[in-house]
Amino acid sequence: MKNLLTAFLIIFSFEISYSQNVLEVLKKDHTLDSSKVILPDETYKRIDQVIVQILSNYHYRKQKLNDSLSSQIFDQYIKNLDNAKLYFLKSDINSFEKYRYQFDEFLMNGELTIPFEIFNTYKRRLGERIKYVKKCLQKEFDFTTDETFTPDRENADWAKTTEELDELWRLRLKNDALNLILSGKDWKGAAEVLLKRYQNYHKIILQYEAEDVFSLFMNSVTQVYDPHSDYLSPAASENFSISMKLSLEGIGATLRQENDYTVVAGIVPGGPAAKSGLLHEEDKIVGVAQGEDGEMVDVIGWRLDDVIQLIRGKKGTVVRLLIIKASDGPNAIPKEIKLVRDEVKLEEQAAKSEIMNIQHEGYNFKIGIIKLPSFYTDFEAQQRGQQDYKSTTRDVKEILKKFKEEKVDGVIIDLRNNGGGSLQEAIQLTGLFIKEGPVVQVKNMMNIIEVDRDPDPEIYYEGPLAVLVNRFSASASEIFSGAIQDYERGIIIGENTYGKGTVQNLLDLNRHIPIAGKKLGQLKLTVAKFYRITGSSTQHKGVQPDITFPSPYSADEFGESSQPSALPWDQIQSTQYQKYSDLSKFIPLLIKKHQERAKKDPEYHLLLDDIEEIKENKEKKVFSLNEAVRKEERNKAEERKKKKEEERAKILGVDIKNKKEVDDKSSIKNDYEVKESARILADLIIARIG
């Protein structure tokens, strides 16, 4: 149990090993047979029953299979198959309804016939849609009419007739075609792209085997327990093993699916995407091509796993991506970028530092900035007994030593976009800033609470401290920032954090079902929960900053609380700890000074404009299918973007032609949040002196 509770946290990312499965499928000239029935392998009955037993007995929730859970699994499975309600008919759903409260019995008995039958129906409906796509694209659309398209169908009802579904698809295809035409294609070119898009997707689904369907269904089961429990098929297990290694091959990005799009969820520090500066969070990947001149494969509407397969490749090879930048809005023209796949090495994810000199209220300050992309440690080197192995705490300790030599007045730990990592490193890093005491509490599924304490009785840095966080700061980042806040050792600045306060353990199913010569995959299981030293869980709520910066993301749309099956927030008994100081009395003054500066700060108002534009783009639900209207909207968006770039360049004092310097978000000179955090920390220093 001790090993379980001290397990390090990893934000699961599909890092890139070499596979050409999808490309091979697309190159094959095979007969498309949507009526071919896929049946479950007898092995899956045993795997199913073991997974259900483990979930029922060892998942933190301790939730037994019953009719209520059966209903949730039913809905989740249908959603995973047809999220946008564009394939199944209302009659299909009605025919499935009789099984809504039987999935618990199916799972306990290892009976998979009905889930496979539902998938086979989906595959048949997909074949019908491809036939309609071919028919619909034979005639050019009229882009002068005032029709509209609504892509978000989450709250829409299922189409009752084939004719109703045809109309939904006509509008969908018309919108897709208009996007392509606005990007420079003529009607013939647009129709060819769309036909190939859906034919390619059809080919991939037709290549699904029993293992793929079983994995899809079992993940619908795990998802209703919580968002971080997963069944990893043998192929997915291999992906996960690659993601756990110290060096990773690929583009260095984590992906998620949002309606028809593959969206960048995060950028791995030190990876090709991060180094290039060409790909960012929330960008949409709409096309993937291999090498310098490979054909661009349109991936709109594809399943996430299949897009990931296409992006994979060997170190040193080129992948080209067609992306819609999040900053450009939904009507933007896609841009092609080129990345060279490479290893994401541990040293490239290491802490980085910089010293900022600022003049503030008549004083000169030297503020040390430590950018921490993740909580890392070289486990292999540590296990080998290597004395100088790399770790977060060791690297930060060296940086703090240099800061002391430089006689900095204060330190900022920048945890923005830090999705977590080693729990032990979060504890040890906290120990550099406190003398002694508890750092985090961990409660397992047996309600046993373990208190993890600072292992070092010394305090390494005693000076003024601030921690900068955002909505993408999660897990270990929340443990560190929460402890610093609870001890009132430093001030927390930025956005509310993600809110992931759970621990996962990885179980090898071959140990539970020994079948000779057959890999059975793994189960990633939520087994424990984190609590702050106050007793408050980091789950769901995350860490709320002392001084808040505006954010384009709400908890409802991004964060643990946006997940329907997320474990709830709760509270346990507080630990015994001694606060480092009484910073809370200064917070009202710091907020007041920050707000007064913000009113007059042009950079702050540019930030608000950016956030407002992002929110407007997200809130737009209905799109015109009139070419003239869409062109006008796009032109206005381009003009607005150009004006903002000119304003930003003027404020920062740089040449607008030097666009790289203007867009370089890693530079402190262009980073409003770091600069304002330094001013807030300076306010604290002055207040404590006075």
Q: Are 9 and 476 in contact (CB under 8 A)?
A: yes
The answer to whether residues 251 and 335 belong to one domain is yes
Average pLDDT, the chain: 87
Asked if residue 141 belongs to a domain, the reply is yes
* Exposure string for 389-404, b = 16+ CB within 10 A, e = fewer: bbbbbbbbbebbeebe
Q: Is the dihedral of CA 324, 327, 333, 335 positive or negative?
A: negative
Name the residue with higher pLDDT: 145 or 520. 145
Q: Rounded CA gap, 214 and 48, in Å?
A: 9
- Quote the percentage of the chain above a pLDDT of 90: 60
pLDDT in tens, 111-120: 999 999 999 9
Could you tell me the maximum CA-CA distance found in the chain, to the nearest angstrom?
A: 80
Q: Rounded CA gap, 161 and 305, in Å?
A: 30
Please, which residues have CB within 8 angstroms of residue 575's CB and are 6 or more apart in sequence? 438, 441, 451, 533, 534, 535
pLDDT reading at 110 higher than 80: yes
Instruction: Write out the residue range of the structural domain in which residue 244 sits.
Output: 237-344
Question: How many alpha carbons fall within 13 Å on the CB side of residue 161?
Answer: 3
Tell me the C-alpha to C-alpha distance, in Å, between residue 518 and each of 21, 148, 298, 316, 671.
Answer: 20, 52, 35, 33, 52
The answer to whether residues 441 and 546 belong to one domain is yes
Q: Rounded CA gap, 266 and 268, in Å?
A: 6
The answer to whether residues 458 and 330 belong to one domain is no
Q: Rounded CA gap, 412 and 392, in Å?
A: 15
Q: Rounded CA gap, 211 and 343, in Å?
A: 30
pLDDT reading at 238 higher than 70: no
The answer to whether residues 424 and 460 belong to one domain is yes
Asked if residue 631 belongs to a domain, the reply is no
Q: Is 272 left (phi over 0), alpha (psi -120 to 50) or beta?
A: alpha
pLDDT of residue 1: 33
- Name the residue with tokens 């999040």: 326
Verify whether residue 554 is a known catalytic residue.
Answer: no
The answer to whether residues 396 and 502 belong to one domain is yes
Q: How confident is the model at residue 667 (pLDDT cuts 50, 70, 90)?
A: low
Asked if residue 323 belongs to a domain, the reply is yes
pLDDT reading at 312 higher than 80: no
3-state secondary structure of 372: coil
Asked if residue 37 belongs to a domain, the reply is no
The answer to whether residues 315 and 393 belong to one domain is no
The answer to whether residues 259 and 276 belong to one domain is yes
pLDDT of residue 383: 75
123, 174, 500, 593: the active-site residue? 500
- Tell me the CATH number at 472: 3.90.226.10
Q: How confident is the model at residue 7 (pLDDT cuts 50, 70, 90)?
A: very low
Q: How confident is the model at residue 161 (pLDDT cuts 50, 70, 90)?
A: very high
Tell me the C-alpha to C-alpha distance, in Å, between residue 506 and each of 50, 418, 526.
Answer: 14, 22, 9
Gap between the terminal Cα atoms of the chain: 50
Q: Which pair of tokens denotes residue 579?
A: 């606060």
Does the reported pTM lie above 0.95? no
pLDDT of residue 24: 55
The answer to whether residues 334 and 319 belong to one domain is yes
pLDDT reading at 17 higher than 50: no
Mean pLDDT of 306-319: 85
Range scoring the smallest mean pLDDT among 199-203, 243-247, 388-392, 509-513? 243-247
Q: Which pair of tokens denotes residue 687?
A: 């207040």
Report which of 200, 194, 207 is spatially closest to residue 134, judged by C-alpha positions: 194
Phi first, then psi, for residue 524 (nearest 5°) are -95, 120
Sequence-ordered alpha helix ranges (H) in 498-654 = 587-600, 602-619, 627-652
Pairing of the two strands 449-453 and 438-444:
antiparallel
- Name the residue with tokens 């929330």: 282
pLDDT in tens, 436-447: 999 999 999 999
Phi first, then psi, for residue 354 (nearest 5°) are -160, 150
Quick one: DSSP state of residue 626? -
- Name the residue with tokens 């977060």: 392
pLDDT reading at 303 higher than 90: no
pLDDT in tens, 504-532: 998 999 888 877 677 788 999 999 999 99
Q: Rounded CA gap, 459 and 453, in Å?
A: 14
Tell me the C-alpha to C-alpha distance, in Å, between residue 393 and each of 383, 405, 422.
Answer: 17, 18, 11
pLDDT of residue 9: 29
For residue 260, count CB atoms less than 10 angstroms from its CB and return exposed for 0-12, middle for 13-18, buried for 19 or more: middle
Q: Rounded CA gap, 387 and 538, in Å?
A: 34
3-state secondary structure of 580: coil
Asked if residue 651 belongs to a domain, the reply is no
Q: Rounded CA gap, 449 and 269, in Å?
A: 33
Name the residue with higher pLDDT: 43 or 534. 534
| The last residue of a domain, from among 224, 247, 269 | 224
3-state secondary structure of 250: strand
233, 243, 475, 677: the active-site residue? 475
Name the residue with higher pLDDT: 660 or 285. 285
pLDDT reading at 12 higher than 50: no
Asked if residue 437 belongs to a domain, the reply is yes
pLDDT reading at 47 higher than 70: yes
pLDDT reading at 659 higher than 60: no
Asked if residue 276 belongs to a domain, the reply is yes
The answer to whether residues 173 and 307 belong to one domain is no
| Amino acid code (one letter) for 626 | N
Asked if residue 672 belongs to a domain, the reply is no
The answer to whether residues 68 and 104 belong to one domain is yes
pLDDT of residue 33: 64
Q: Are 201 and 302 in contact (CB under 8 A)?
A: yes
The answer to whether residues 461 and 550 belong to one domain is yes
Report which of 25, 489, 98, 675 is spatially closest to residue 480, judged by C-alpha positions: 489
pLDDT of residue 662: 43
Mean pLDDT of 247-260: 73
Q: Rounded CA gap, 433 and 414, in Å?
A: 15
Q: How confident is the model at residue 661 (pLDDT cuts 50, 70, 90)?
A: very low
Q: Rounded CA gap, 680 and 546, in Å?
A: 11
pLDDT reading at 660 higher than 90: no
Q: How confident is the model at residue 32 (pLDDT cuts 50, 70, 90)?
A: low
| The last residue of a domain, from among 199, 224, 249 | 224
- Tell me the CATH number at 249: 2.30.42.10
The answer to whether residues 273 and 245 belong to one domain is yes
| The last residue of a domain, from among 548, 578, 598 | 598
Q: Rounded CA gap, 437 and 431, in Å?
A: 8
3-state secondary structure of 607: helix
Per DSSP, the residues of 550-571 read P-S--TTTSSGGGSTTPPPP-B
Q: Are 286 and 239 in contact (CB under 8 A)?
A: no
Verify whether residue 592 is a known catalytic residue.
Answer: no
Mean pLDDT of 134-141: 96
pLDDT in tens, 410-465: 999 999 989 888 899 999 999 999 999 999 999 999 999 999 999 988 999 999 99
pLDDT of residue 235: 72
Mean pLDDT of 253-278: 83
486, 546, 671, 683: the active-site residue? 486
Verify whether residue 64 is a known catalytic residue.
Answer: no
Mean pLDDT of 619-630: 93
Domain count, the chain: 3
